[in-house]
Chains A and B, each alone.
Chain A
Amino acid sequence: MRWVRPLSAEVGETAAVLGGKAHGLVVLRRLGLPVPPGFVITTEACRAFLRDGRLPDGLDAELAAAIADLEAATNRTLGGAERPLAVSVRSGGGVSMPGMMATVLNLGLTAEATAGLAAETGDGRFARDSRERFQTSFAAAVGDEPVPEDAARQLERAVAAVFSSWDTPRARTYRTLQDIAPDLGTAVTVQAMVFGNRDHHSGTGVAFSRNPSTGEPVPFGEVLFGRQGDDVVSGGLLTRPLHELAGREPTVWAHLLDALDRVESHYRDGCHLEFTFEAGELWLLQVRPGRFAGAAAVRVAVDLADEGVISRHGALRRISPQQLGDARTPRIVAADVLARGIGACPGIAVGRVATTADNAARMAADGPVILVRPQTSPLDMHGLAAAAGVLTARGGPASHAAVVARSLRKPAVVGAADLTVLEGSFQAGGHTVPEGTLITIDGTGGEVVLGTSRIATGATNPHLERLLGWADEVSGGNPDRSETERLTAARAVLL
Chain B
Amino acid sequence: MTPPESPHSTGTDLLVLHALRCVGFAGLARVAAATGLPEPDAESELIDLARAGLVTHLAGTFGGWGLTEAGRAADAERIAEELEASGARAAVAAAYHDFLVLNPELLDLCTAWQLRPAGPAYDARVLDRLTDFDQRAGVVGAALSAALPRFRRYRVRLTGALARARSGALEYVTDSVESYHAVWFQLHEDLLATLGIPRE
Interface positions of A (Cβ within 8 A of B): 99, 169-170, 173-174, 176-178, 357, 361, 364-365, 374-375, 377-383, 385-386, 394, 397-400, 402-404, 406-407
- Contact present for B189 and A406 (CB under 8 Å): no
B residues less than 8 Å from A398 (CB atoms): 104, 107-108, 110-111
- Contact present for B110 and A403 (CB under 8 Å): yes
In the assembled complex, the CB of A464 is this many whole angstroms from the nearest CB of chain B, namely: 22
Query: How far, in angstroms, from A385 to B109 measured CA to CA in the complex?
Result: 23
Closest to A380 in B: B24
B residues less than 8 Å from A169 (CB atoms): 105, 133, 136
Query: How far, in angstroms, from A385 to B64 measured CA to CA in the complex?
Result: 13
B residues less than 8 Å from A386 (CB atoms): 61-62
B residues less than 8 Å from A380 (CB atoms): 24
- Contact present for A378 and B62 (CB under 8 Å): no
In the assembled complex, the CB of A43 is this many whole angstroms from the nearest CB of chain B, namely: 22
- Contact present for B105 and A382 (CB under 8 Å): no
Closest 9 CB pairs of A and B: A170-B105, A382-B25, A177-B112, A361-B62, A398-B111, A398-B107, A379-B24, A386-B62, A403-B110
| B37 contacts A by Cβ under 8 Å | no
| B175 contacts A by Cβ under 8 Å | yes
| B80 contacts A by Cβ under 8 Å | no
| B119 contacts A by Cβ under 8 Å | no
B residues less than 8 Å from A364 (CB atoms): 62
In the assembled complex, the CB of B152 is this many whole angstroms from the nearest CB of chain A, namely: 19
In the assembled complex, the CB of A457 is this many whole angstroms from the nearest CB of chain B, namely: 23
Closest to A403 in B: B110
- Contact present for B125 and A177 (CB under 8 Å): yes
Query: How far, in angstroms, from A357 to B185 measured CA to CA in the complex?
Result: 17
- Contact present for A406 and B114 (CB under 8 Å): yes
| B78 contacts A by Cβ under 8 Å | no
CB < 8 Å neighbour of B175 from A357, A381, A383, A407: A407
A residues less than 8 Å from B199 (CB atoms): 374-375, 377
B residues less than 8 Å from A402 (CB atoms): 107, 111
B residues less than 8 Å from A394 (CB atoms): 200
A residues less than 8 Å from B111 (CB atoms): 397-398, 402-403, 406
- Contact present for A382 and B174 (CB under 8 Å): no
